[in-house]
């Protein structure tokens, strides 16, 4: 996958793109990530990229010319066909695991990081395919949301993570939170690991994990639990486990 990020602060991405899973994915060429400084495309000598909004109002708006020229440069130099272009915006649809899985299937992405009061609507009308938000709150700029999206999507690209099973078992991958995890020692400060995990009985371990996943989702994210329970994708095994769960905790 190729990802081009348009930003006023490319230096914010330097450490992010060179460490941990993202850094290894770039090194192994599972993903190519480039940052482009929008200010480099400003036509005026002061490298101005923002101006007062027409009609008045507080704050500044990012100008159409620098952004448009930056996008054209990326399209002309790095892509044979137009990638899915995303504007990170508090007005966008909220990023979910399901959306990340869809984006991970794309060959390439362009991410636009806004600032100030946003970007000129003409950029959105001409180039943007999708606006994405990472939550119902407002940040200073789109750089952090872009990092969240890149991290979320990149780890779903085949070969980036060591085990495909780890992706399938992660929180939100099946609309449920992940079950509790334990490692050595078996007893610490008088608190023991659940016996079933030490039993070697893989069938019972799997059953325990599914029940714990349902239980944790009900307690921490009842909205997800309700969504899962009303979904047509609920398996017969999950329906049976839900019945058992009724006897463990009060619904």
Domains annotated on the chain, with CATH: 2-154 (3.40.1280.10), 171-246 (1.10.1270.20)
Query: In the chain, where does DSSP find H-type helix?
Result: 20-27, 64-78, 97-103, 121-127, 143-154, 164-169, 202-220, 222-230, 236-246
The pLDDT score that the predictor gives to residue 229 is: 77
Residues 6 or more apart in contact with residue 86 via CB below 8 angstroms? 109, 110, 111, 112, 128, 129, 130, 131, 132, 149
Contacts of 161 (CB under 8 A, 6+ apart): 21, 155, 167
Q: pLDDT digit of tens for each residue in the chain (251 aa)?
A: 999 999 999 999 999 999 999 999 999 999 999 999 999 999 988 999 999 999 998 899 999 999 999 999 999 999 999 999 999 999 999 999 999 999 999 999 999 999 989 999 999 999 999 999 999 999 999 999 999 999 999 999 999 987 554 555 554 456 789 999 999 999 999 999 999 999 999 999 999 999 999 899 888 988 888 877 776 567 778 778 877 776 665 54
Kindly report the pTM of this predicted structure: 0.85
Q: What is the pLDDT of residue 251?
A: 45
φ, ψ of residue 10 in degrees (nearest 5)? -60, -25
Cα end-to-end span (Å), the chain: 44
pLDDT the model gives residue 53:
94
């Amino acid at each position: 996958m190729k990802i081009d990020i348009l930003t006023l602060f490319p230096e914010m991405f330097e450490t992010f793109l060179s460490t941990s899973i993202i850094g290894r994915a770039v090194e192994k060429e599972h993903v190519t990530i480039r940052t482009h400084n929008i200010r480099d495309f400003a036509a005026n000598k002061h490298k101005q990229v923002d101006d007062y909004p027409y009609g008045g109002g507080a704050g500044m708006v990012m100008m159409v010319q620098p952004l448009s020229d930056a996008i054209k440069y990326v399209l002309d130099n790095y892509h044979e066909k137009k990638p899915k272009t995303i504007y990170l915006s508090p007005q966008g649809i909220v990023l979910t695991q399901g959306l990340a899985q869809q984006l991970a299937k794309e060959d390439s992405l362009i991410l636009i990081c806004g600032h100030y009061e946003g970007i000129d609507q003409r950029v959105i009308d001409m180039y943007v395919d999708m606006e994405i938000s990472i939550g119902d709150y407002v940040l200073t700029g789109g750089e952090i949301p872009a990092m969240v999206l890149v991290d979320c999507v990149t780890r779903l690209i085949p070969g980036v993570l060591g085990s495909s099973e780890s992706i399938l078992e992660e929180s939100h991958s099946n609309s449920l939170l992940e079950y509790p995890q334990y490692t050595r020692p078996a007893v610490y400060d008088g608190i023991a690991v659940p016996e079933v995990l030490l039993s070697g009985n893989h069938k019972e371990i799997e059953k325990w994990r599914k029940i714990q996943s349902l239980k944790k989702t009900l307690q921490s994210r009842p909205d997800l639990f309700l969504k899962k329970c009303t979904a047509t994708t609920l398996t017969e095994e999950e329906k049976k486990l839900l019945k058992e769960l009724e006897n463990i905790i009060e619904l």
